[in-house]
A and B are shown apart, each in its own frame.
Chain A
């Protein structure tokens, strides 16, 4: 072997190594055992190690003598420096850094027993003596007292020297590597700090790039007395180290973080050994983070938007890439905003990063936002991941894989829990999409398609009319609820309408109301009816509305159909208002107030004469007793003839199948004026004949008897007793009536004729109007059909 010239440092270093390997102190080191471990720790490929061994001659000898060992160490240094392994290179390479040996965990543990306490002297140097991340033990700074286990006193003696020497020779790069170690908490050991000396920290600004997780290479000076340094990784509590670290870091930081780190340092110092949770946030830290959170977002339950957080964390002067990574880690729910927990986690990560800790690949469990329900499971899930990761920091990619699956496993449930957690917390951020289900759904418009028909009550009462008018106008303007009310009211009103229609049909002219029988909720029809009713109501209270009727001095005339004619014309005018009827019929004479009850009587009469719908006819029957009653009243008030007529009407009401009663009605329907008088007379006659209680004077009786014979020939239903009343009135004026009455009878007869004429005219008018109404309704129906046909097209 050629001579090996070693520098002093190398000499000492090698001697230490040799003594370390030379357990048995036999001055000969076997190839296996610690030597192999040492060479393995050099992180050289196996072939290189073999080459080294061959070169140094150990293979020849079968063991490592001191010289061989020294040569081997030198070759290790050469190989680590990247130079080709040559025997010549041993001496040719100048300023070769000391071989670097990575201490594995086993080695550390083994060396732990042989720890030494020379660290106090190595305050500067031991900063680099940082075990690789997997090792729990870390070299403490001077403040830390290592286990005074000293395997060999010689080593102890050598120890102080070599460590001191080594840093001197360490090339400039070593501090960087050391620095990397310092900054390489890699999750597991981050709490154990990096007891870098203060001065070492200043040169390395915060611009330290993300250290290579896998770079656990030791700087040359770091393991000066290898066994001692390695062994020195005592399991002493990291508090002191943290203490030393953080004050150092405080010197660097000029931002607000300095305060934070100082407080954190103190806090961490006080914290007892928390090996398992290096990322734990202390109370003081948390309080500080919360205060910082408040400066941005006063509401502790609210969010910090991404932009504000970006500005805030940019102040830490960390590189954007790292901040981006921190954000990725801390934004647990990926919503672009930070909650209090997320903010604290991010803040803590930034602090750690500034202090030299490397960012973990996944969020440490202690920094996870506290989930209400799944906190335990999250902790359990993350724990193995954390440990797994910390177990093999040197191999970053492989470490990721064990941690990743655990992360993936816990992620889904964490995501779910985060969602649940978010539901619990009050969210003010609009960007929060997970709690969308909290948003209120707009109430559906209940009446989107409801077209509220006009509420109509077809009752003849004035009050109802007014109500209907109000409702109608109100429903036009009101909204959703009104149609419902209107509908219900309509439904109720419809029934009333039907009944009232029937009643009205019995009372008034048929056409409009007859159509209303086929009543639907059609607003137009209702409107028609309303108008009808309106007009009706208008007419009933306002007797002066209709045009002045022809003079009807006779009260009998008032009781005649003229009154009904008024109604009829009112109805027709109402129809006109509805746009159905065009021409106003001749206004019949207005009934006098005294004749108020009369109209009731005459309604059925007119109805009998004008209504052609059989549907209304049966309804008139029950009504007949009404005006039959009235007729009874009128009998006393009116003339004898009227009374007779009323009696006849009454009788006809009572006895339906009276032919004579029906005859005049049918004749009236036919609008035959010729037989009117006869019918009336006939009606009156049988009435008088059938009824023996008539108070009428005997003279009319013979007349009636005459008529009776005529009327007997004509079968008819008595529903037209109303007409019989009219006829009776007409009959009063008949010449057959004994003129013993005198002028009155003549007058009556004249009036009767006029009434008949008006009746015929009105009857014709009525029929025409009915026809017109039918035509208009048909047109309307056709238009509606067309509209409906057109509508589907419009919706395309």
Chain B
């Protein structure tokens, strides 16, 4: 159950960011922005090996007292960042992985749309609905 979901482009600008309306969105934006450094760090650490061996799921990037931030990077260096409420202890790693997988699939569907120019903000309704479903899950 994500509190905030963000899709960051290769150049580290957001393609899509959406937060649960309960909190101050700016705070989530800031968290996502700071997590990018951690993502880059993890990527570079595994960069020695071949890309094939590098796993897409990065795992827990860093935890805060209230939230945990998970990361996922695709082979095209598009990053998915998800902020999860720490109170949801029942959320296991597999669930996070499945959520990222769904994100990735939806993202590829967006990419398949010829009317979508890579680098544009993601405005796909299907993507939105998918993210909504992810964010509303626990609620």
Residues in A lying within 8 Å of B, measured CB to CB: 305-307, 309-310, 313, 320-321, 323-325, 327-328, 331, 334-336, 361, 400, 404
B123 and A328 within 8 A (CB): no
User: What A residues does B114 contact at CB under 8 A?
Assistant: 305-307, 309-310, 327, 336
B24 within 8 A of A: no
A331 touches B123 (CB 8 A): no
Given contacts A320-B115, A328-B109, 12 further A-B contacts (CB under 8 A): A305-B114, A306-B113, A306-B114, A307-B114, A324-B115, A328-B126, A331-B112, A331-B113, A334-B112, A336-B113, A361-B125, A404-B129
**Residues of B with C-beta under 8 A to A323:** 115
What's the least CB distance linking A626 to chain B, in Å? 69
Determine the distance from Cα of A636 to Cα of B14 in the docked complex, in whole angstroms.
Answer: 111
Please measure, in the bound complex, the distance between the C-alpha atom of A313 and the C-alpha atom of B123, giving whole angstroms: 18
What are 15 A-B residue pairs whose CB atoms fall within 8 Å in the complex?
A306-B113, A306-B114, A307-B114, A309-B114, A310-B115, A313-B115, A324-B115, A324-B116, A327-B113, A327-B114, A331-B112, A331-B113, A335-B112, A361-B125, A400-B129
Cα of A324 to Cα of B125 in the assembled complex, Å: 9
Q: Residue of B at shortest CB range from A323?
A: B115
The answer for the CA separation of A335 and B124 in the assembled complex, in Å, is 16
Contact (Cβ within 8 A) A321 B113: no
Closest partner residue, chain B, to A319 (CB atom)? B115
What's the nearest-Cβ distance from chain A to residue B64, in Å? 31
Chain A nearest CB, measured from B78 CB (Å): 17
Decide if B125 touches A325 in the complex (CB within 8 Å). Answer: yes
- Residue among B109, B114, B123 having the largest count of chain A Cβ atoms under 10 Å: B114
Please count how many residues in chain B sit with their CB below 8 Å of the partner chain's CB atoms: 12
> Per-residue CB proximity of B108-136 to A under 8 Å, as 1/0?
11001111100000011110010000000
- A335–B114 Cα distance when bound, in Å, is 10
Q: How far is the CA of A325 from the CA of B129 in the complex (A)?
A: 13
CB distance from B101 to the nearest CB of A (A): 15
- For the complex, give the distance between the alpha carbons of A96 and B109 in Å: 48
Q: How far is the CB of A400 from chain B (nearest CB, A)?
A: 7
Q: CB-CB < 8 A to B113: which residues of A? A: 306, 324, 327-328, 331, 336
A310 to B109 Cα, complex, angstroms: 16
Contact between chains at B112 and A324 (CB < 8 Å): no
Is the pair A327, B115 in contact by a Cβ cutoff of 8 Å?
A: yes
B105 to chain A, nearest CB (A): 9
Whole-angstrom distance between the Cβ of A431 and the nearest chain B Cβ: 9
Q: In the assembled complex, which residues on chain A have CB atoms less than 8 Å from the CB atom of B124? A: 324-325, 328
Residues from chain A with a CB closer than 8 A to the CB of B129 are 361, 400, 404
List 4 tightest A-B contacts by C-beta distance, closest first: A306-B114, A310-B114, A324-B115, A336-B112
Q: Among residues 69 to 116 in chain B, which have CB atoms less than 8 Å away from a CB atom of chain A? A: 108-109, 112-116
Residues of B within 8 Å of A331, CB to CB, are 112-113
CA distance A323 to B114 in the complex (A): 9
Chain A residues, Cβ within 8 Å of B109:
328, 334
Given the complex of chains A and B, what is the CA–CA distance between A266 and B90 in angstroms? Answer: 59
Closest B residue to A321 by CB, please name it. Answer: B123
In the complex, what distance in Å separates the CA atom of A551 from the CA atom of B36?
A: 100
Please, how many angstroms separate the alpha-carbon atoms of A586 and B80 in the complex?
Answer: 87
Please give, as numbers and ranges, the residues of chain B lying within 8 Å of A321 by CB-CB distance: 123
Instruction: Report A358 CB to chain B, min CB distance, Å.
Output: 12
Report the bound CA distance from A454 to B5 in whole Å: 68
Across the interface, name the chain A residue whose C-beta is closest to B115: A324
Tell me the complex Cα distance, A328–B115, Å: 10
Q: Whole-angstrom distance between the alpha carbons of A700 and B57 in the complex?
A: 104
> Hey, which chain A residues are within 8 Å of B126, CB to CB?
328
Residues in A neighbouring B115, C-beta threshold 8 A: 310, 313, 320, 323-324, 327
Please name all residues of chain A whose beta carbon is closer than 8 Å to the beta carbon of B123 when the two chains form the complex.
321, 324
CA distance A305 to B113 in the complex (A): 11
Complex Cα gap A361–B125 (Å) = 8
CB-defined contacts of A325 to chain B, threshold 8 Å: 124-125
Cα distance A34–B128 in the bound complex, in angstroms: 40
Interface centre among A306, A320, A324, A404 (most CB of B within 10 A): A324
Within the complex, the shortest CB–CB distance from B98 to chain A, in Å, comes to 15
Could you say which residues of chain B place their CB within 8 Å of the CB of A400?
129
Chain B: minimal CB distance from A434 (Å): 13
Residue in chain A with minimal CB distance to B123: A321
Counting chain A CB atoms within 10 Å of each CB, which of B113, B115, B129 scores highest? B115
Question: Hey, which chain A residues are within 8 Å of B125, CB to CB?
Answer: 325, 328, 361
Nearest A residue to B113 by beta-carbon distance? Answer: A327
- Give complex CA distance A361, B116 in Å: 18
Closest A residue to B125 using CB positions:
A325
Residues of B within 8 Å of A328, CB to CB, are: 109, 113, 124-126
The docked-state distance in angstroms from the alpha carbon of A361 to that of B112 is 18
> Which residues of the partner chain B approach A310 to less than 8 Å between Cβ atoms?
114-115
Per the bound structure, the CA–CA distance linking A26 and B113 in Å amounts to 63
Closest chain A residue, CB of each to CB of B122: A324
